[in-house]
Copies of this chain bind each other. A is one copy, B any other.
Amino acid sequence: MRDVFTALSSPVRREILALLRERALTAGEIADRIPLAKPTLSGHFNVLKQAGLVSADRQGSTITYRINTSVVEDALAALLRLTRRETE
């Protein structure tokens, strides 16, 4: 499982997550909204998937991605611990 923070460090990947926050989208719909080649985006999808930040499911020839909110919340909790002085 790739590090969640590494996955979040890319502006492109945060943009993908921001789009998915509104609703689940297919790879093609995401490609319509972000001006990068599809193979490039596909690589980003892989990073997000490995980090557990999104899940993918195929319907026929299209693949729909959705954000995995609980993993974002875990990252959030880790950051929150950096602001508090008590034991983790």
Q: Is A59 an interface residue (CB 8 A)?
A: no
Complex alpha-carbon distance, A31 and B5, angstroms: 23
Q: Is A21 an interface residue (CB 8 A)?
A: yes
Q: What count of chain A residues pass the 8 Å CB interface test?
A: 24
A14-55 vs B, CB cutoff 8 Å, 1 = contact: the mask equals 100110011000000000000000000000000000000000
Q: Is A6 an interface residue (CB 8 A)?
A: yes
Q: Is A9 an interface residue (CB 8 A)?
A: yes
Please give 9 more A-B residue pairs, beta carbons under 8 A apart, in addition to A6-B9, A18-B82, A76-B83.
A9-B9, A18-B81, A21-B81, A21-B84, A72-B82, A72-B83, A76-B76, A76-B79, A76-B80
